[in-house]
Amino acid sequence: MGSAIGHCLLIEEDDKLVLIDSGIGLLESKEPEKRLGKELIEVTGFEFDESLIAIRQIEKLGLNPEKVEHIICSHLDPDHIGGLMDFPKAKVHVSKEEYEAFKGGDERYLQQQLDHDPDLKLYEVNDAEWFGVAARKVAVSSESELYLIPLFGHTLGHCGVAIKANDEWIFYVGDAYYLRAEIEDKNHPVDQLATIRAVDNEMRLESLDKVRELIHNFGNEMDYFGYHDPTELK
């Protein structure tokens, strides 16, 4: 997508797969203006390459996309969930606040991206704690520990995802930051874009500070990355 990228994370366990965000979908890469709209494409600068979307990347790994049983969504913006339709049997996990915002008619969302009526699991209760912050345990039968970490502001129900696999923590911050440089530079120019795109900018800044504090205090105990920074996970 132009100078940005969309990082989706795949967890492989035995005979099943878990996907964290699904990115742009197959139909959207084939018919972008029809599926996403010319205005959104022009505003975002989206560029499309079918070989890079999640389902094609999974196939490239020699894995069967039909084995994707669960998809955990940081939020429901168009560039994060277009690929849901490529995995119609997958259960979709998302915060209740985000789903209610999606159904509430905010024009940032594209309602047709959930037209396939996926099996939804909504999370509204902070029932756990992760490195001292509120967390919501994701109900997936998995050897990995999985938590939604509320990082509201970019959208009303935006969450990061914490994953413990092979005794190591991975912290996916979604769109809590656009560029890793924001962790150290509170006046980074990309903050202007983040402010424009935030539903509640005060909440967004609080969430970003939460991410900064987590990384400052525990960054040596985890790998962390966001959705859009092209310098991460090359």
What architecture is domain 9-225?
A: 4-Layer Sandwich (3.60)
pLDDT tens-digit map of 46-81? 778 888 999 999 999 999 999 999 999 999 999 999
Distances (CA, A) of 143 to 89, 146, 210: 21, 9, 27
Is the pLDDT at 142 greater than 80? The verdict is no
Question: What pLDDT, on the 0 to 100 scale, is given for residue 144?
Answer: 83
For the chain, the structural domain boundaries read 9-225
Is the pLDDT at 17 greater than 50? The verdict is yes
Q: Which residues pair with 160 in a beta bridge?
A: 149
pLDDT tens-digit map of 99-136? 999 999 899 999 999 999 999 999 999 999 999 999 99
**pLDDT bucket at 42, cuts 50 / 70 / 90:** confident
Q: Do 164 and 216 meet the contact criterion of CB atoms below 8 Å apart?
A: no
Torsion of CA 69, 163, 191, 183, to 10 degrees: -160
Give CA 230 to chain center in angstroms.
15
- Of 28, 12, 136, 117, nearest to 69 by C-alpha is 12
Question: What pLDDT, on the 0 to 100 scale, is given for residue 2?
Answer: 42
d(CA 71, CA 64): 15
**pLDDT bucket at 43, cuts 50 / 70 / 90:** confident
**pLDDT bucket at 38, cuts 50 / 70 / 90:** confident
Is the pLDDT at 1 greater than 70? The verdict is no
**pLDDT bucket at 30, cuts 50 / 70 / 90:** confident
Is the pTM higher than 0.85? The answer reads yes
Residues 6+ apart with CB under 8 A from 141: none
Question: What pLDDT, on the 0 to 100 scale, is given for residue 35?
Answer: 82
- Cβ count near 28 (within 10 Å): 26
Question: What pLDDT, on the 0 to 100 scale, is given for residue 104?
Answer: 95
Distances (CA, A) of 43 to 9, 11, 19, 47, 204: 26, 32, 27, 12, 21
Q: Which residue has the higher pLDDT, 14 or 185?
A: 185
Lowest mean pLDDT of 54-58, 147-151, 228-232, name the range. 228-232
Question: What pLDDT, on the 0 to 100 scale, is given for residue 4?
Answer: 67
Is the pLDDT at 179 greater than 90? The verdict is yes
d(CA 17, CA 142): 10
What's the DSSP call for residue 85? Answer: G
Is the pLDDT at 184 greater than 70? The verdict is yes
